[in-house]
């Protein structure tokens, strides 16, 4: 196969797309939302002063749900991207970019005449190679929230070079909910409302920098439980299901959980990107009261409490819905004590350790537990 500069296949779009079916090369079709970061949001994108590429202009296939918003050919061996643009859209986008430049009117006229005189094919193929590293999956998610109000749980997407992200809820999703949702645009914030009684989270809003809320709200691919894949608006649809846990001495709470996967420019198949660690989110019923207590904290290994220590205050949810000073540890026994937070808003977990309360010599253990972000007092005293 002839290559231009030993990299790019010299073929028409018809020939190139027909080659995808051959086992002799490493070409495959991919939906437009998996385009490299540089084309979607980077230096080649039309939103950048130096770029003209518009994702919206990519060739579409209305008859195929996977490619109805556009598609391209990706070479899994070299990482090269071959993106088809219909001639009309290509000429319009390029002319618009030219007119927005700082060139003189004479220079623009000369370039425009030369450009439009070219016998462009019906499909113009733009070639790009990735210069970005794979995306890093990361979300900023509060540890807990109280009540069922809209916006009670807001996640912030901190991923690097994200072209899209996936969220996966834990198993046991109720009927009509979704266990996995793929966002085809790079979301920056995702808000949920969580109904305590039904234990389910629902998407309430999305936001980003480049599109309207309506566009973001309709830019998800998901499959409802016992349903078929859809791209309808996911706002108001349940996402996964939490489990109700009860501490007989304190309070009931719902433990929600999710995983995230972010994909940027790919050096291989997307299966190489694994989900990050589970992010557990605690939900307390409406009316729960947050109280606080001062402490001296030692390391969990410092059982003699003779090493260095830290003083401060931790916050906890009371079981009696009033600020009763010892609610945080009355759960000793078969039920652990309260969850410990570093702030009154319950967004950040307190640190694990041995806690000594003001006016006491006894230390209470709040160890770190795998899979749980927020420490709780166990039955250990020191």
Q: For strands 279-284 and 144-146, give the pairing.
A: parallel
SS3 of residue 242 by DSSP: coil
Closest CA to 202 of 162, 182, 174: 174
For the cut 60, the answer to whether the pLDDT of residue 9 exceeds it is yes
Residue 381 pLDDT: 85
Closest CA relative to residue 192, chosen from 229, 147, 226, 252: 147
Of 238, 279, 275, 283, nearest to 257 by C-alpha is 279
Q: Tens digits of per-residue pLDDT, 46-100?
A: 877 778 888 889 999 999 988 988 999 988 777 788 999 999 999 999 888 888 8
Confidence of residue 263 (pLDDT cuts 50, 70, 90): low
Give the other-Cβ count within 10 Å of 357's Cβ. Answer: 18
Residue 182 β-bridge partners: 166, 221
**Residue 266: predicted pLDDT:** 53
Lowest mean per-residue pLDDT among 26-40, 85-99, 127-141, 206-220: 127-141
**More confident call, 37 vs 238:** 238
Q: What local confidence, expressed as pLDDT, does residue 323 receive?
A: 40
Q: Over 60: is that where the pLDDT of 270 sits?
A: no
Give residues with Cβ within 8 angstroms of 254, minimum separation 6: 194, 196, 199, 242, 243, 244, 245, 282, 283
Residue 275 has pLDDT above 80, yes or no: no
**H helix intervals, the chain:** 13-19, 37-40, 87-99, 105-117, 213-217
Between CA 281 and CA 67 the distance in angstroms is 35
Q: Give the mean model confidence (pLDDT) for residues 170-188.
A: 78
Residue 304 pLDDT level (bands cut at 50, 70, 90): very high
The average pLDDT across 184-208 equals 86
Angle at 329 between CA 328 and CA 331, to 5 degrees: 105
Q: Mean pLDDT in the chain? A: 82
| Cα-based distances in Å from 109 to 82, 92, 101, 226, 291 | 30, 15, 12, 58, 71
Query: How many CB atoms are located within 10 Å of the residue 268 CB?
Result: 12
The helix (H) or strand (E) run that includes residue 150 is none
Contact 86, 59 (CB under 8 A): yes
pTM exceeding 0.85: no
What sign for the dihedral angle of Cα 4, 6, 10, 16? Answer: negative
**Phi, psi of 77, deg, nearest 5:** -80, -45
């Amino acid at each position: 196969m002839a290559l231009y500069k030993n990299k790019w296949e010299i073929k028409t779009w018809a020939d190139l797309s027909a080659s995808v079916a051959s086992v002799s090369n490493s070409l495959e079709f991919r939906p437009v939302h998996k385009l490299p970061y540089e084309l979607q949001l980077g230096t080649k994108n039309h939103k950048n002063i130096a770029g003209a590429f518009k994702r919206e202009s990519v060739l579409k296939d209305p008859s195929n749900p996977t490619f109805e918003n556009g598609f391209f050919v990706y070479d899994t061996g070299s990482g090269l991207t071959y993106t088809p643009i219909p001639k009309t859209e290509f000429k319009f986008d390029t002319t618009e970019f030219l007119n927005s430049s700082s060139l003189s009117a004479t220079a623009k006229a000369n370039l425009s005449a030369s450009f439009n005189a070219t016998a462009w094919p019906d499909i113009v193929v733009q070639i790009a190679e990735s210069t970005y590293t794979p995306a890093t999956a990361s979300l900023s998610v509060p540890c807990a929230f109280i009540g069922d109000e809209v916006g009670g749980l807001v996640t912030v997407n901190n991923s690097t070079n994200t072209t899209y992200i996936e969220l996966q809820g834990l198993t046991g999703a109720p009927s009509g909910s979704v266990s996995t949702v793929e966002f085809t645009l790079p979301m920056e914030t995702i808000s949920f409302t969580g109904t305590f009684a039904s234990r389910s989270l629902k998407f309430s809003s999305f936001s980003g920098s480049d599109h309207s809320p309506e566009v973001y709200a309709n830019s998800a691919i998901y499959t409802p439980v016992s349903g078929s894949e859809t791209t309808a608006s996911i706002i108001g649809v349940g996402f996964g299901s939490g489990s109700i846990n009860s501490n007989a001495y304190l309070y009931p709470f719902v433990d929600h959980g999710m995983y995230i996967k972010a994909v940027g420019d790919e050096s291989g198949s997307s299966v190489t990107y694994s989900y990050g660690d589970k992010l557990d989110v605690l939900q307390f019923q409406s009316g729960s009261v947050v109280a606080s207590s001062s402490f001296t904290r030692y390391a969990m290994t410092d059982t003699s409490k003779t090493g260095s220590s830290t003083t401060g205050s931790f916050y906890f949810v009371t079981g009696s819905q009033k600020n009763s000073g010892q609610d945080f540890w009355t759960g000793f026994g078969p039920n652990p004590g309260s969850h410990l937070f570093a702030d009154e808003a319950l967004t950040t977990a307190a640190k694990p350790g041995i806690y000594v309360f003001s006016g006491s010599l006894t230390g209470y253990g709040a160890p770190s537990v795998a899979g749980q972000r927020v420490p709780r007092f166990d039955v250990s005293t020191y």
